[in-house]
C-alpha cells in the first residue's frame, strides 16, 4: 500500500485525478492506471530486464511468483 508523506493512506479519488492530470499534461490519451502496469511489464520484457527486476517493479519481490502475466504480446 502506498501512503502520503504523512503515512496516511492515499485517497483513491485524488490519486486517480492526479493520474488524469499527468496524462493530460503529457498530452497522452486517457487510460486506466492499471494499463500502465501492463505497459511497464511489456517494456521490461523488451529491455530483457531480469525476472527479479521485473518482479520488483511490480511489487512481486518476495520470490514466490513465477513469470509475470501482465505483459501483452
pLDDT in tens, 14-46: 989 999 999 999 999 998 888 888 888 888 888
Q: Is residue 7 part of a domain?
A: no
Dihedral angle sign, alpha carbons of residues 26, 30, 36, 39: negative
pLDDT, one tens digit per residue, over 55-71 is: 776 666 655 555 555 55
For residue 37, count CB atoms less than 10 angstroms from its CB and return exposed for 0-12, middle for 13-18, buried for 19 or more.
middle
Number of domains in the chain: 1
**Which residues are paired to 9 by β-bridges?**
3
pTM of the model: 0.56
Contact 41, 8 (CB under 8 A): no
Q: Is residue 73, in this structure, part of any structural domain at all?
A: no
Quick check: is 71 in a domain? Answer: no
The residue range of the domain holding 25 is 12-57
Q: Any idea which residue has 485517497 for its cell?
A: 11
Contact 10, 3 (CB under 8 A): yes
Amino acid at each position: 500500500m502506498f501512503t502520503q508523506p504523512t503515512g496516511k493512506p492515499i485517497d483513491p479519488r485524488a490519486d486517480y485525478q492526479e493520474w488524469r492530470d499527468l496524462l493530460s499534461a503529457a498530452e497522452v490519451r486517457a487510460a486506466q492506471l492499471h494499463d500502465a502496469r501492463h505497459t511497464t511489464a511489456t517494456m521490461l520484457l523488451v529491455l530483457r530486464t531480469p525476472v527479479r527486476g521485473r518482479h520488483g517493479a511490480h511489487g512481486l519481490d518476495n520470490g514466490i511468483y513465477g513469470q509475470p502475466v501482465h505483459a501483452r504480446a
